[in-house]
Amino acid sequence: MDRRASRGGKFLRRQRFQGGGRGLYFRNALERRSHRPRHNGQPQKSPVSVESRKIRLLMDLRNAGVTDTRVLAAIERTPRETFVEETFTDQAYANQALPIGCGQTISQPLVVGLMTQALEVSDRHKVLEIGTGSGYQTAILAKLARRVYTVERHRDLLHEAEERFKSLNLHNVTTMVGDGYKGWRGQQPFDRILVTAAARIVPPDLVGQLSDEGGIMVLPVGDVAGLNQEVIRVRKEGKQFKSERLFPVRFVPLVQGLPGPSRQ
């Protein structure tokens, strides 16, 4: 884990996650909440709003180690309810993974925050994402990077994600149906690569597509059954690279090839 941004390091070592100050991203919402109508000097009770759930989630993420203000702001500006199935809309801001179809999941918000933070994305970066899924992680990256290229092996999932990108006016996202193990040949090098499924080893093709000038890749590796996985960060300088272990997780496996017609 990035120690510069981890006040929650001890907590992270105890948990296996499923795939500074509060800052400006809380201020307006908290001010609105403080001006609710009062009765006998006390705020009137009302159902928990989407906004309140989002604020609570952001506070939980910060307390658990996501302290990069750009990452938190990107999460705040990305409506997670847009990326979950209608059945789970009321759980959109719960800190948990949710099913999205094709045997895949939308990752736990804490994992999204920690992995995005570890990627150290700037607005100059060209980013490759392996595993578009619902498109939630993609949308967050799109708010941080110059351009995001995202690869998904399930055509139906990618089509749904593309519709969400259009509805949110995310014009710096380029998509492709493909084998994530192979990355995106012809578009390399990438300043940053994020993988959202667990590989047994770091895919050599992805390392080869990472920029030699300080490129960073963040990905889960380990047992594809999900029993012994951890997120690692790979830094590349020239032809040399080094990796560091960050935190334990549980992700769906990174599968090579494309699914058959009946599993698109």
- The residues carrying an active-site annotation are 107
* Residues 135-156: b if buried by 16+ CB within 10 A, e if exposed: bbbbbbbbbbbebbbbbbbbee
Cβ-Cβ contacts under 8 Å for 16 (sequence gap 6 or more):
248, 249, 250
CA distances from 127 to 108, 131, 147 (A): 21, 13, 6
C-beta neighbour count of 127 within 10 angstroms: 24
| Cα–Cα nearest to 124, from 147, 102, 146 | 146
Cis bond before residue 189 (omega within 30° of 0): yes
